[in-house]
Amino acid sequence: MNSRAWLGIDLSLNALAIAGLGYDSVLKKNVGPCFRSVQWHKDDDYFSRLYQLSLIQNEIMPLLYEMNMFLNLDKIYIAQEEPWPLGLASRGVGQSQTLKQQAEMSGALLAGLLRYGYRNIYQIHSAWWKKLVADDLGITTHHSKWGKGIEGKMRCKEWALNPGYAFLGLFENEVPVWPDLIADSKNGGRKPQPANSRAKPLQPDDRYQALPMATWMYLEERGAKFSGST
């Protein structure tokens, strides 16, 4: 197999997170996972966020350099979660402004990827990477097993920190332990939970969610039987 990289991108109104896995055909070994992340706060200009996403190459290239991967763009495969599940807007769920901004930010990201020449882009449903995580954890994605609220959100962290899951044990780097995120009352958005904080976590670090997307992309490109590729 030739050298290649598989990236997972998690995007919200508050953060951008990228996880990368790779294969070096010269050294004949898997490399990664490696990560990049950006956090935004309430005072960060919305159009500046869109501009930053349109320059997504500024985040992807340092990630590839960290992995020592110098690849043609056709050897880079990218999975990004769709901005919201199909049919959500038609059901009237959520605020229209939030949905509008999620769609615009996703569009700026995709346009940036296309502008820089990436073509192997998969926009995936959250159920696809959650199915991968659930299978490895020995549960299902049904809320009775997956969990609701913070319990369900923590599943990707639980999965990522066990190197035996989803072939991550085949890669050379351990996944770091990052603090959970809590509300940032001063700056808006979210921030890592300080060691002495008793605040209730809202979610794990976004990079834990990007990692199963990269793993899904790895398995999909390698020929595993996953459906829904676009």
In DSSP terms, which residues pair with 38 in a beta bridge?
16
Structural domain contains residue 226: no
Structural domain contains residue 228: no
Q: Provide the total of helices (H) and of strands (E) in the chain, helices listed first.
A: 8, 7
Residue 211 · residue 158 · CB < 8 Å: no
- Nearest of 144, 196, 212, 203 to residue 178 by alpha carbon: 203
Structural domain contains residue 130: yes
Average pLDDT of the residues in 202-217? 94
Average pLDDT of the residues in 210-215? 94
Which pLDDT band holds residue 184 (cuts at 50, 70, 90)? confident
Which pLDDT band holds residue 68 (cuts at 50, 70, 90)? very high
Q: In 10 A of CB 110, how many CB atoms?
A: 21
Structural domain contains residue 90: yes
- Nearest of 39, 35, 34 to residue 16 by alpha carbon: 39
State how many domains the chain has.
1
Structural domain contains residue 22: yes
Instruction: Evaluate if residue 153 carries a pLDDT over 90.
Output: yes
Structural domain boundaries enclosing 210: 4-221
Return d(Cα 143, Cα 87) in angstroms, integer.
Answer: 19
Question: For the segment 4-18, what is each residue's pLDDT rounded down to a tens digit?
Answer: 999 999 999 889 999
Q: What is the pLDDT, as a whole number, of residue 189? A: 78
Q: What is the pLDDT, as a whole number, of residue 96? A: 73
Instruction: Evaluate if residue 92 carries a pLDDT over 70.
Output: no
Structural domain contains residue 141: yes
Q: In 10 A of CB 41, how many CB atoms?
A: 13
Specify the higher pLDDT residue, 23 or 190: 23
Structural domain contains residue 229: no
Q: What is the pLDDT, as a whole number, of residue 87? A: 54
Specify the higher pLDDT residue, 97 or 210: 210
Structural domain contains residue 167: yes
Q: In 10 A of CB 142, how many CB atoms?
A: 9
Average pLDDT of the residues in 156-178? 80
Q: What is the CATH number of the domain that holds 117?
A: 3.30.420.10
| Arithmetic mean of pLDDT over the chain | 87
Which pLDDT band holds residue 90 (cuts at 50, 70, 90)? low
- Specify the length of the chain in residues: 230
Q: What is the pLDDT, as a whole number, of residue 228? A: 36
Identity of residue 80: Q
Q: What is the pLDDT, as a whole number, of residue 7? A: 97
- What proportion of the chain, given as a percentage, has pLDDT over 70? 89
Q: What is the pLDDT, as a whole number, of residue 187? A: 75
The alpha carbon torsion through 58, 189, 19, 221 (nearest 10 deg) reads -100
